[in-house]
Chains A and B, each alone.
Chain A
């Protein structure tokens, strides 16, 4: 494996070097021989990778198709007629998921950042604030999402408070915000702590107050660093918007459930699941790309 990595990379570099230099340089016999050898190794690696992937895929396929319950499973989960019937309904419901994701996402970012900053406040006056923020994060990090949702959707209306909504969609959204703010605040906090103390020292030595050092020096760097993990949280939030359907709001999952309930066929669930996957893949790839780009760019010049 490490052999592959070694053979793969220098080939590109060598090609670049030969491509851009314009000084009459002719590659030596030795270099050409080395490159030919590396190309051979790279071809061999590609062949092995293809073969092993094919073998694995075929083995998996045979295992599934030859299982005793395959015929029944195929009919209940992979029925094209039901898939065609479910898709428009699921997509209609998906609109709700997307709205929830965007609306909640913005609130979560704001609350998460606020919680993270509150926890960094120093000074005796802020002790209660610090304690509250810490307790909040501890509580909602541990509380299972589904329980938080149930308590919000069924518990809040039971209080019969006047002026407080009983709309399961809003309450479900609130539950998402409560839980995810805790997650996101931990992400922000790790970002804040990843900024080297010398940066804060430099800011303070210029006469900036603690709050100014935080605002102008620490936070901008911290937020930039946590963008990739935040995108992962967004992917996760996108999936969890499906849980809001337990309150009766017709989202993609609930739309699938309605069809499944009167047809006794589970294909609609599979359709809903695929739609979510199709939505998350670009986000995940974008997060990967962004992480890679930031890793390459970070401090090329060696500033601490």
Chain B
């Protein structure tokens, strides 16, 4: 079972260069509707920012894309293949999607280097030397080469989160999901993590980012999606969503954000 599942009968064909597509996704938790009817298209080499209040379903959406949660209805396509088809190979899908979590979730019993080389060695069957060389190269680029032999609990939050990004990258993902990766960091450390994301965008990585850092979303995103009450209420280029929001609820959300100092008005 490799990634070739369910190409037939997968519904409408994906647009050219489209990495991720969500169609009418619905997800409930015990009677509570978290995602009501979410549609989304993520072109290749683009950055999509998900914004919205806490509890608006941003994290749930991420977990659904990575198949950590099973959706109730609708469909999710990765490179045109329906990954929510029950016949799809979940492990094969996850291999192509990298995830970085708010709480880092590094493995505390492994060194930084072992954290990063785990997937390349065990999933992608790379040799130790090859995997470590690649990991060190990535760490070097993020200025973390000196920390390769350290255990995660010896690192600052910002360093841990950057290692988590390297760990996700080392598996060579087609798509990177960043789930509020700066929410647990103090303001001084936020910058170093965001600059890594900026570099990734430069290199053409396709990313979906959920964030409360509106200024950053505005700067780095190609499209911004405002999630509200389980639907994508407003979607468009950042200048439009932030500069000229069409929906009343978007305006209200953004004015609250401006009031809290997370975005220059």
Contacts and interface: CB of A to CB of B under 8 A. Distances in A.
Is B truly associated with A? yes
A284 to B, nearest CB: 26
A207 B153 contact: no
Nearest to B96: A207
A300 B150 CA distance: 14
A198 B101 contact: yes
Given A212-B123, A299-B153, A204 B103 contact: no
Contacts of B106: 202, 303
A205 B94 contact: yes
B153 A216 contact: no
B68 A208 contact: no
A201 B101 CA distance: 10
B94 A199 contact: no
Contacts of B167: 206
B145 to A, nearest CB: 19
B126 interface: no
Most buried by B among A206, A224, A299: A206
A301 interface: yes
Contact of A202 (B91, B92, B95, B107): B107
Interface residues of B, number: 32
A303 B68 contact: no
B155 interface: yes
Contact of A206 (B104, B109, B171): B171
A154 interface: no
A206 B101 contact: no
Interface in B95-114: 95, 97-99, 101, 103-109
Contact of B123 (A202, A206, A217): A206
Contacts, number: 78
Interface in A230-257: none
Interface in B155-185: 155-157, 160, 167-168, 171
A55 B66 CA distance: 67
Contacts of B103: 198, 304
A302 interface: yes
Given A198-B101, A206-B119, A301 B94 contact: no
Contact of A212 (B99, B122, B155): B122
A79 interface: no
B119 A207 contact: yes
A286 B91 CA distance: 42
Interface string A259-300: 000000000000000000000000000000000000000011
B107 to A, nearest CB: 6
A220 interface: yes
Contacts of A301: 152-156, 160
Contacts of A204: 68, 91, 94
Given A301-B153, A301-B155, A208 B108 contact: no
B119 A304 contact: no
Contacts of B92: 207
Contacts of B66: 205
B152 A216 contact: no
A216 B118 contact: yes
Contacts of A212: 122-123
A201 B95 CA distance: 13
B123 A220 contact: no
Given A300-B153, A303-B152, A303-B160, A205 B108 contact: no
B61 to A, nearest CB: 14
B105 A208 contact: no
Contacts of A304: 103-105
A302 B107 contact: no
B107 A199 contact: yes
B105 A199 contact: yes
Nearest to B122: A212
A207 B101 contact: no
Most buried by A among B91, B107, B119: B107
B104 to A, nearest CB: 6
Interface of B: 66, 68, 91-92, 94-95, 97-99, 101, 103-109, 118-119, 122-124, 152-157, 160, 167-168, 171
Given A216-B118, A217-B118, A301-B156, 9 more contacts: A206-B98, A207-B92, A208-B118, A212-B122, A221-B107, A221-B108, A303-B108, A303-B160, A304-B104
Interface of A: 198-199, 201-209, 212, 216-217, 220-221, 224, 299-304
